Amino acid sequence: MLAWSRGLWLVNLVNFADGVAYFGVLALTTLFLERDAGFSTEWSTVSVSLFTGAVTVFMALGGGTVSDRLGVRRALSLALLLVLAGRILLTLAPQAGAGAAVPRWPRSPSSCTRSARASSSRRSTPA
């Protein structure tokens, strides 16, 4: 392992650090949605799971195409710049007032269907 090139070590170190940051942000996003945005535990975990699935699908379908067109070095440089910009925005978001005017969402998925059924039954009831 010590004979591996510096480039390989750099790519692996960046990948490790990005993974730690990404999964840390996912955990914090779940907590934010639950505590500050008013999502229920079910809604916050579903939202974060859908986001993670969308990222995975994009990486599988779109990431290789972009990398093939740009080349590995340019694609990695672009990806690192985008990640850096995102991390900077996440760091500056609280100072910019992000989350101050977050709308409240239903507390559980079942409350949405119950309220939708109640409003539709009120409309369909003859007077």
Locate the domains of the chain by residue range.
6-97+108-122
115 to 33, 69, 85: CA distances (angstroms): 21, 49, 40
Q: What is the pLDDT of residue 47?
A: 93
The whole-angstrom separation of Cα 9 and Cα 60 is 24
- Enter the tokens of residue 40: 């229920």
- Enter the tokens of residue 81: 């710049």
Q: What is the pLDDT of residue 53?
A: 93
Query: What is the chain's percent helix, strand, coil content, to nearest 5?
Result: 75, 0, 25
Does the pTM surpass 0.75? The reply is no
The whole-angstrom separation of Cα 49 and Cα 43 is 10
Please report which confidence band the pLDDT of residue 109 belongs to, taking 50, 70 and 90 as the band edges. Answer: low
Per-residue model confidence as pLDDT tens digits over 43-88: 999 999 999 999 889 888 888 888 889 988 898 888 889 988 988 8
Query: Are 43 and 108 in contact, with CB atoms under 8 Å apart?
Result: yes
